[in-house]
Amino acid sequence: MTMDSEILLDLSTVGQVGVIGECMLELSEFSADSPDLKKLSFGGDTLNTAVYLARSGANVHYFTAVGDDTHSRWMIRQWQRAGVQCDHVVQVAGRVPGLYMIDTDPEGERSFCYWREHSPARELFEKHGQADQIFKALAQFDLIYLSGVTLSLYSDTALERLLVFLTTFRQEGGLVAFDGNYRPQGWARKSRAQSVYTRFYRQVDIALPTLEDEVALFDLADATALFELLGHFEVAEIVVKQGGQGCLLQVEGGLQAVPAIVVDDVIDTTGAGDSFNAGYLSARLNGEPGVVAAQNGHRYAAQVVCQRGAIVPIKIG
């Protein structure tokens, strides 16, 4: 490891952040004493990050599609109360949002069941006219954040439209942040995921992947191989999350480790990586260097894993 100067982008001029993805209704254990009793909430990797970013003071807008049912309207109200702007959330008549259920083992690790095949979010860029309207709105933003889960939602046609837009967006000075967040169950074939990620990584400025996910996706040997791969894609700023082992930053002479905060009583790891991303990006938006930003990300994640659920109260300052 090295302590040489960092290779980082200038995010000081970023004003608005556009976040693309899906939020679903969430059923999770009410308590460890009552595992069969479920509570209703909501969550989704990019929405989780959007909420923690908004709590940190960022101007965040969420781009997704939901239904026009009671639960969809309830979710939108909750996002707005959290500070997330919802002007660009599409409500589709006669539809309902996706649903997932979380079971958590004694070590705080999660397993998921999903009901999302007919989620309106999957069709956000499917219709040419609607896609063009959304891209016109997104073009006004300084930073766009999305994830591999976002990409797994869309058809080949929708992915091509999104890729063309992001290419133009970056050519005109916009920045793209991306968390790989590879989830095999979201992809019909690993080879398709590899192809999609490869194409989209070439339009990413800030990568926030988890080592375990990317190793599984690209059959990599270690973190060095991942940094080499993302370097080949010309990603400018790379932060690789390693769970309890902390994260790695790219610096001029190699890689720099930033240790995680030790948590003795991990209750639920849901949303830990998403909150880290928000902590990292919010610090970078405030002009902090990479190490300080990574420490801020760890501080967010350490609070999240001590509570149940993806979106929980944490101390920002």
Q: Quick one: residue 23, left, alpha or beta (phi over 0 = left, psi -120 to 50 = alpha)?
A: beta
Q: Helix (H, G, I), strand (E, B), or coil: what is residue 104?
A: strand
Q: Report the distance separating Cα 73 and Cα 70, nearest Å.
A: 5
User: Got the DSSP string for 199-247?
Assistant: HHHTT-SEE--BHHHHHHHHT-SSHHHHHHHHHHTT-SEEEEE-GGG-E
Residue 312 has a CB neighbour count (10 Å cut-off) of 20
Q: Report the distance separating Cα 305 and Cα 307, nearest Å.
A: 5
Q: Report the distance separating Cα 257 and Cα 240, nearest Å.
A: 10
- The residues annotated as belonging to the active site are 274
Structure tokens that stand for 20 in this block: 């693309």
